[in-house]
């Protein structure tokens, strides 16, 4: 499929065009609560929504910074896909094979990208447009906090997508001529744990329930019940689509839900303090001494654990594959642009028992040869001149090392590997060595906010438990 503005532009256009109609649908029984677009600038000033806008700008820059670390440090932290596969096996392959159809692939691919971006944008905008500034705050903070919580796992616990590791499973979303450029620009394809496509909406659902509990009503009585049901519906679809498209493992959902719970508890407790900051000053955002001490100690322990266990740890074992291919499978890995002067050293190791083909090409030479999860290796090879292509075969136990220069930000190259055996699966380990592959210390620093937030939530939960025990004892004595 070709479209001049690409997947991201298309998604954002549809998101913007559907915001008001969906808001009107969800509030069809209370039109008096709607905010007219002409009133939006005044509402932003009156309710102090400027920091919501700043938050999204900061998140864009922060995500870019995390992405720069993710690939650079993989040579030092490795990956743990083999652990997840050892626990889960090939179950998601069944989901893909049982329901495989071109129409379903197109619908779920669009849904996977569109609804995630839509929830990020629409959730705070919906609450702003229906005059609920408290939930607008919480929805915006949910996006920020859950991503902060995911950073240590994204950087230090790499898990490849299922289509890279389960033989015979196709990357229905990534290996498509419309999505591949967007995917290789934005998704390292090794951030399986946690699934924020699942965790982000779960965080919203938990926040909704914490909020109505404070209001003293049930979720069915809440004025935003339709919005809550909308999130639930898309969550059900996500549960299936992330398996079907060859992206997430089922186990990825568990840490996603856990982080959602931590995120919701933190946001629910701290939103009133953040909203009151203009009147109470910045000191009001500093935790109490006990809470701060707990959070700092917890963060220091976690950082120490990462530095001693994850860095140069079990995930870096050179004999463990990070890709597995069945007969005829073609897998793709992305060589990112990190320097315009220093080349990237690429190492492709055959850690299996069968021969594999390998080639490195500029992305532009690959795009037109992928469609709905299929990479047409023969078509790619036949379209290249002898100077552009060398059919390299890597024998079992052997490695191929080469350097790739990226003198432009548009010089994205792809590593393509193909099984040369018609029987059992082949196993590959691809390692990229970037000029900035020593970013461990800054990665540890970027992980600190996640551990501080978690420490604050642990202290918050502990204090609540102690209060409940104290109240129970007081009742018994009385």
Calpha distance 105→118 (Å, rounded): 19
Within 13 Å and on the Cβ side, how many CA atoms surround 338?
25
Quote the mean pLDDT of the chain.
91
Dist. CA 135–CA 204, nearest whole Å:
10
Say whether pLDDT at 397 is over 50: yes
Distance CA 370, CA 380 (A): 9
**Residue 417: pLDDT above 90?**
yes
Q: For residues 296 and 465, is the Cβ–Cβ distance under 8 A? A: no
> Considering only 166-180, 209-223, 271-285, 311-325, which range has the smallest mean pLDDT?
271-285
Bridge partners (DSSP) listed for residue 433: 345
pLDDT at residue 468, as a whole number: 52
- Does 436 score more than 70 pLDDT? no
Residue 237 has pLDDT above 60, yes or no: yes
**Phi/psi of residue 366, each to 5°?**
-110, -30
List 416's β-bridge partners, or say none.
Answer: 332, 359
* Cα dihedral sign, 60-64-69-71: positive
Q: Give the residue from 184, 168, 231 showing the smallest Cα distance to 6.
A: 184
State residue 469's pLDDT score. 47
Residue 141 tokens, joined: 């903070």
Closest CA to 244 of 147, 121, 102, 347: 102
- Fold observed for domain 323-433: Jelly Rolls (2.60.120)
Q: Which 3 state secondary structure label does DSSP give 423?
A: coil
Angstrom distances, CA of residue 165 to CA of 161, 218, 324:
7, 44, 5
Look at the block and give the residue holding tokens 């069944």. 94
Q: 34 with 130: CB under 8 angstroms?
A: yes
How confident is the model at residue 437, as a pLDDT? 62
Q: How many of the other CB atoms lie within 10 Å of CB of 367? A: 15
Q: Which of 239-243, 419-423, 434-438 has the highest mean pLDDT?
A: 239-243
Q: Give the mean model confidence (pLDDT) for residues 442-466.
A: 90
Contact 172, 106 (CB under 8 A): no
Percent of the chain with pLDDT over 70: 95
Cα–Cα distance for residue pair 180/157, rounded to 1 Å? 24
- CA-based torsion, 70, 74, 80, 85: positive or negative: positive
Sort residue 287 into left (φ over 0), alpha (ψ -120 to 50) or beta. Answer: beta
CATH 2.60.120 maps onto the chain at 323-433
**pLDDT of residue 272 exceeding 90:** yes
The rounded Cα 151 to chain-centroid distance in angstroms is 9
Q: How far apart are CA 139 and CA 120, in angstroms?
A: 8
Q: In this model, does residue 298 exceed pLDDT 90? A: yes
Helix 440-477, helix 289-305: angle, nearest 10: 140
> Given this model, what pLDDT does residue 478 score?
45
pLDDT-based confidence at residue 1 (cuts at 50, 70, 90): very low
Q: Identify the pLDDT of residue 10.
A: 84
Rounded to two decimals, the pTM is 0.92
Tokens 């019940």 belong to which residue? 225
Cα–Cα dist 427/324, whole Å: 5
Per DSSP, 101 falls in state -
Tokens found for residue 62: 């922060």
**pLDDT value at position 207?**
98
Q: Nearest Cα to 206, choosing from 242, 249, 258? A: 258
More confident residue, 421 or 401: 401
Left if phi > 0, otherwise alpha if psi is -120 to 50, otherwise beta: which for 397? left
24, 81, 138, 270, 357 from 120: Cα distances, Å: 19, 28, 12, 20, 40
Average pLDDT over residues 257-285: 91
**Which of 237-246, 273-282, 347-356 has the lowest average pLDDT?**
273-282
Residues 117-153: pLDDT tens digits?
A: 899 999 999 999 999 999 999 999 999 999 999 999 9
Mean pLDDT of 384-393: 75
């Amino acid at each position: 499929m070709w479209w001049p503005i690409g997947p991201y532009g298309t998604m954002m256009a549809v998101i913007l065009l559907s915001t008001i109609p969906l808001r009107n649908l969800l509030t069809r029984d209370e039109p008096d609560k709607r905010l007219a677009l002409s009133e939006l600038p005044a509402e932003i000033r009156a309710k102090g929504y400027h920091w919501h806008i700043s938050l999204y700008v900061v998140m864009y820059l922060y995500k870019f910074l995390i992405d720069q670390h993710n690939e650079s440090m993989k040579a030092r932290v490795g990956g743990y896909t083999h652990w997840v596969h050892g626990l889960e096996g090939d179950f998601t392959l069944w989901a893909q094979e049982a329901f495989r159809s071109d129409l379903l692939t197109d619908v779920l691919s669009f849904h996977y990208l569109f609804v995630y971006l839509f929830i990020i944008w629409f959730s705070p905008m919906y609450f702003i447009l229906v005059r609920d500034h408290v939930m607008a705050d919480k929805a915006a903070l949910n996006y920020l906090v859950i991503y902060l919580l995911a950073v240590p796992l994204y950087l230090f616990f790499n898990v490849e997508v299922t289509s890279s590791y389960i033989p015979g499973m196709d990357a229905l979303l990534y290996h498509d001529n419309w999505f591949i450029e967007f995917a290789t620009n934005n998704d390292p394809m090794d951030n399986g744990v946690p699934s924020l496509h699942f965790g982000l909406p779960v965080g919203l659902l938990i926040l909704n329930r914490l909020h109505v509990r404070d209001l003293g009503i049930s979720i069915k009585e809440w004025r935003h019940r339709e919005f809550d049901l909308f999130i639930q519906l898309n969550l059900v679809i996500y549960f299936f689509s992330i398996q079907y498209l060859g992206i997430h493992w089922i186990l990825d959902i568990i840490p996603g839900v856990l982080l959602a719970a931590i995120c919701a508890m933190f946001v629910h407790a701290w939103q009133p303090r953040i909203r009151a900051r203009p009147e109470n000053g910045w000191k009001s955002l500093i935790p109490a001494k006990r809470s701060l001490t707990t959070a700092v100690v917890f963060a220091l322990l976690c950082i120490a654990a990462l530095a001693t266990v994850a860095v140069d740890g079990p995930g870096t074992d050179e004999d463990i594959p990070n890709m597995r291919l069945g007969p005829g499978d073609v897998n793709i890995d992305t060589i990112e642009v990190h320097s315009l002067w220093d080349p990237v050293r690429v190492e492709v190791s055959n850690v299996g028992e069968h021969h594999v083909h390998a080639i490195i090409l500029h992305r532009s030479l690959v795009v037109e040869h992928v469609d709905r999860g299929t990479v047409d290796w023969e078509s790619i090879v036949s379209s290249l001149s002898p100077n552009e292509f060398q059919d390299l075969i890597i024998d079992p136990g052997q490695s191929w090392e080469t350097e790739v220069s990226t003198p432009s930000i548009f010089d994205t190259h792809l590593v393509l590997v193909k099984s040369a055996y018609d029987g059992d699966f082949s196993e590959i380990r691809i390692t990229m060595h970037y000029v900035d592959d020593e970013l461990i210390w800054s990665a540890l620093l970027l992980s600190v906010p996640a551990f501080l937030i978690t420490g604050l939530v642990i202290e918050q939960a502990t204090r609540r438990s102690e209060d409940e025990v104290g109240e129970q004892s007081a009742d018994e004595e009385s």
